[in-house]
Structure 1
Amino acid sequence: MNCIIIEDEIPAQKILKSFISKTPSILILGIFKAAIEANSFLKNNTVDVVFLDINLPDISGIDFIKTIKNPPAIIITTAYPEYAVNSFELDTIVDYLVKPFSFDRFFKAINKAKDRFETSKNPIEETENILFLNVDKTHHKITLNSILYIESDRNYITVVTKNQKLSYIESLKNWVEKLPKNQFIQVHKSYIINRKFVDKISGNEIYVSANRIPIGRTYKQELLKQLKIIQ
């Protein structure tokens, strides 16, 4: 994996460089003191992981992420743990390292980024409606038609069938783009459902094979249209 470091503190840069040098699976392409300096590099180079401080001199790390189109995996590095909850709302963030962090903690973050990287290269192998999901280095076999719903929780996806619940690092957006539109419908910012298993709709909830799933206000009209429900 290729990475860059966006960090304005020299000691923090040195620690990251030292830890990365001990990790064969990752290569540093560049080190930047400010997000603006890194912006053009990201546009012109393939970067798989960004080590990103939140408090930067020009723009905050969180605000910078929101400006990147198709951002790579982000590992936040900062001295302020109180930012962790809000930052994990961005599904491109795979981990949050609070300074000072150990090599063991760093290596755990790298493994999370590696899982995201491997999943993004080949997240789903499909043959005649059979899917193999790469979860924790194991390929789990399911069929597309067996999926009840897909749930997003921060930077994790859970694929739910009648017999399985498989969770791994992924964004819901990627599933929306890959699933057949005539079968799967996004009903909430955190949920995609299989219309085949819809039992009923009650208020702002949809029942999918007895599972109660919230309906987002901005998704309801399209959902009713897709299901051909006359109001």
Structure 2
Amino acid sequence: MNCIIIEDEMPAQRILKSYIKKIPDLNLKGSFQTASSANLFLKNNDVEVVLLDINLPDIPGIDFIKTVKNPPQVIFTTAYPHYAVSSFELETVVDYLVKPFSFDRFLKAISKAEKLINRQALSEEESIFINVDKTIHKLILNDILYIESARNYISFVTAEKKLTIIDSLKNWKEILSPTQFIQIHKSFIVNSRKVDKFNSSYVYIQNEKISIGRTYKESFQAQMRPSN
């Protein structure tokens, strides 16, 4: 796993680096003293785990991670135990380590992060088989951009193909994960992981512009927007 440290105190950074060196599967890709200096790195590099202090000089760690699109797993490393409850309101927070913490406690947190990452990787490769004109096609769920309904047919659209079968959108809404596949129109379900941008009227996925139905607007925006 690739990780970074965001910690403004150099003694604390040195302790984290010494712990990381003891774990063969954990690779330190960078260390930063401010959230703003780490932000660009996160945008351009593959990072699975962030070791994040809460009391940073530019922006609190909790506030910073809310601004990161598709944030990595977060392990807070802090001297302030009273932020623990609010930190766990963030979905990507794996653990909360209060300084000073032992290597064994650090290893436990890393193990938790690794298990979550492996579980997510498996779910992303989850697949289904669908019958199109007497031919069985394997479809990886995470490859789906959106599902479109037209009369008695639905089409699964990926970047490479479009598979159409006789079925209902309602049926697939009940089958698929409601946090990943969100209905935004009576004729469309979108894969939230594939959304590039959206406004009050449209969702944009790659080159597609899909209308948001009035009935679905509020629930869609509530699911997609980060909490403040």
Same fold (TM over 0.5): yes
Q: Which amino acid aligns with 1:9?
A: E
CA distance in 2, matches of 1:14, 1:180: 50
Q: Which amino acid aligns with 1:52?
A: L
| Higher alpha-carbon Rg | 2
Q: CA deviation at 1:34?
A: 0.2
Per the alignment, residue 45 of structure 1 pairs with 45
Per the alignment, residue 100 of structure 1 pairs with 100
CA offsets 1:68-127 (integer angstroms, 9 cap, x no match): 000000000000111001100001000000000001100000001101111121126445
CA offsets 1:168-191 (integer angstroms, 9 cap, x no match): xxxxxxxxxxx94144685xx9xx
CA distance in 2, matches of 1:5, 1:111: 17
CA distance in 1, matches of 2:126, 2:177: 21
Per the alignment, residue 176 of structure 1 pairs with none
In the alignment, structure 2 segments of 5+ residues that lack a partner are 131-170, 180-214, 217-228
Q: CA deviation at 1:128?
A: 5.7
Q: Which amino acid aligns with 1:120?
A: Q
Per the alignment, residue 181 of structure 1 pairs with 173
CA distance in 1, matches of 2:26, 2:74: 14
Quickly say closer, same or farther: Cα 1:185–1:92, change in 2 above 3 A: closer
CA distance in 2, matches of 1:27, 1:122: 21
In the alignment, structure 1 segments of 5+ residues that lack a partner are 130-178, 190-220, 223-231
Q: Which amino acid aligns with 1:8?
A: D
Q: Which amino acid aligns with 1:103?
A: F
CA distance in 2, matches of 1:185, 1:120: 13
Please list, as runs of the form range in 1=range in 2, the aligned pairs for 1:1-231 lying within 5 A after superposition.
1-123=1-123, 125-126=126-127, 180-183=172-175
Count of residues paired in the alignment:
141
Is the partner of 2:76 in helix, strand or coil? strand
Alignment root-mean-square deviation, CA: 2.3
What is the identity percentage for the equivalent residue pairs of Structure 1 and Structure 2? 61
CA distance in 2, matches of 1:30, 1:185: 34
CA distance in 1, matches of 2:26, 2:177: 37
Quickly say closer, same or farther: Cα 1:32–1:185, change in 2 above 3 A: closer
Quickly say closer, same or farther: Cα 1:43–1:185, change in 2 above 3 A: closer
Structure 1 length as normaliser, TM-score? 0.57
CA distance in 2, matches of 1:180, 1:12: 49
CA offsets 1:38-74 (integer angstroms, 9 cap, x no match): 0000001010000000000000000000100000000
CA offsets 1:144-196 (integer angstroms, 9 cap, x no match): xxxxxxxxxxxxxxxxxxxxxxxxxxxxxxxxxxx94144685xx9xxxxxxx
Structure 2 length as normaliser, TM-score? 0.57
CA distance in 2, matches of 1:66, 1:122: 25
